[in-house]
Amino acid sequence: MILIVDDKPENIFSLKKILEINNFEVDTALSGEEALKKILKHTYALIILDVQMPGMDGFEVAENISGYSKSKDIPIIFLSAVNTDKRFITKGYASGGVDYITKPVDPDILILKVKTLHRLYEQTRDLNEAHLALRAEIEFRKQAQAELRERVQELRSTLESIPQIAFTAKSDGTIEFVNQHWYKYSNRQEKFPETHPDDPQIKEHWEASIRENRPLEMEVRIKTLSEGSYHCHLLRTTPITEGDDIIKWVGTFTDIEDQKQAEKRKDEFLSIASHELKTPLTSIKAYMQLLERAFAPELEASADSGNYLKRAQFQVDKLHNLIADLLDISKIESGRMKFNKKVFKFEDLLASSIDIITQTNHDVRIIRRGTVDALMYGDEIRIEQVILNYLTNAIKYSPDTKEVVVENSLTPEGHILVKVIDFGVGIPADKQSQIFNKYYRVEETSHRFQGLGIGLYICSEIIKRHGGAFGVESNSNLGSTFYFTIPSYKGTPLT
């Protein structure tokens, strides 16, 4: 907006019309005092100021305008019919004017000067706004960098205080900080500790995780510099993000050597104990069978005696199954679990497994959904072991319901999918990722249901050895769905 200041309304009228014809917004004032009041309230791009006015003349008004921080940069054009000599014009410029026009005004010259000064004002205003924005951005970045330095220092202090090996890296994977424990295993900051020849190389997995922008977790044995021995560590890396961008990585090596040795000793003990228990248990089963045959008439005559013997046989069978599971654990850990693979019809195996469960659990109703007429290549007995374990768990952890659903279908990839659905106690969401771990049991249900936490671990290993996948979907108190997939056989059909 342009402000015209003149004590004569007729002059204001003519100037205002000229400017409005050229699409300029115009405001007016009939005195210097009125002009100063308006300048304090409004923002103007240009002021056309008459020099000769009663009271406060144009020079005084200009000097006051240049004294206000808000208006000091507004360009002023002086307008007068007299005093066009050099000294008078110089005084006008000294008072803050940027141009001078004498009366009578030439409209073309006036518009040319107004357009030029108006454009310069807008450019100056835009430049000032850009300057302010730039200063604000600089201050923001300085503050952000200071906060980042503070956060980095806090992080490094924390990493120095923990017992694990710790490091941080840039977004591209370049290591930029390591704590003091790092140098027990590596003599250079940029070099990962040396791994055991039989273990995967850390660098390869690290570079892959950086490329794929995903956290890394792996167990690896690394070599100590002082002793040259290898200690098992759990390596974990986590990204630090700002918005959707990864700005840094934090990694730790946690020494789990003692835990691994304890597990190894426990597995050795269980293996020895299982083998030692297997022989006398087999003898007990044989003697009980002989006892049942030798005293068959008496057992038939006495219902209580027959029931006692059946209960004893049931407990012996439970012990036999437990020992079998412990032996399987031992075989898995030592790599001695054998698989007698052959081609067979999966539907026959699934139907047989369900029949076994229904024969021993008469009050349970197993509902079938879907059948798959497909072959598979694998160990029939081991796959049956998985199905029986899934079904047994479904019944065991659903004490208040007598229904279990078994779904069978083919995935788009041609894999056989089996789902066992129960309506029991369920599994909390934060525990589901560990449910297939060795010896793991959900704390919330461990006091209600007996077990060692090894059945699902054995199932997972069997499925892995068949190139399949497994998992669980569950909600607390609403039941669980345990599933597995195994590739179907694509070769020559059975005859």
Q: What is the per-residue pLDDT across 288-334, written as a single tens digit (0 to 9) for each?
A: 888 778 877 776 777 777 777 777 877 777 777 777 777 777 777 66
Strand partners, 236: 217, 252
Parallel, antiparallel, or unpaired: how do β-strands 175-178 and 165-170 relate?
Answer: antiparallel
pLDDT at 35 over 60: yes
Strand partners, 165: 253
How would residue 85 be classed by pLDDT, with cut points 50, 70 and 90? low
Cα–Cα distance between 74 and 34 in angstroms, integer?
17
How would residue 383 be classed by pLDDT, with cut points 50, 70 and 90? very high
List, edge to edge, every strand of the sheet that includes 99-102.
26-29, 2-5, 46-50, 76-80, 99-102
Parallel, antiparallel, or unpaired: how do β-strands 403-410 and 365-369 relate?
Answer: parallel
How would residue 456 be classed by pLDDT, with cut points 50, 70 and 90? very high
Of all residues in the chain, what percent carry a pLDDT higher than 70? 93
**Could you tell me which of 78, 85, 79 has the C-alpha nearest to residue 103?**
79
| Across 340-356, average pLDDT | 93
How would residue 453 be classed by pLDDT, with cut points 50, 70 and 90? confident
| Across 155-166, average pLDDT | 89
pLDDT at 116 over 90: no
How would residue 493 be classed by pLDDT, with cut points 50, 70 and 90? low
Whole-model pTM: value is: 0.51
Give the alpha-carbon dihedral of 85, 89, 91, 96, to 10 degrees. Answer: 170
pLDDT at 147 over 90: no
Give residue for tokens 């205002």.
16
Of all residues in the chain, what percent carry a pLDDT higher than 90? 38
Dump pLDDT digits (tens) for 228-285: 999 999 999 999 888 889 989 999 999 999 988 887 887 777 777 777 777 787 788 7
pLDDT at 187 over 80: yes
Structure tokens at 245: 């961008």
pLDDT for the residue numbered 327 = 72
Cα–Cα distance between 294 and 311 in angstroms, integer?
18
| Across 434-438, average pLDDT | 88
pLDDT for the residue numbered 330 = 72
Angle between helices 380-396 and 346-360 (to 10 degrees): 40
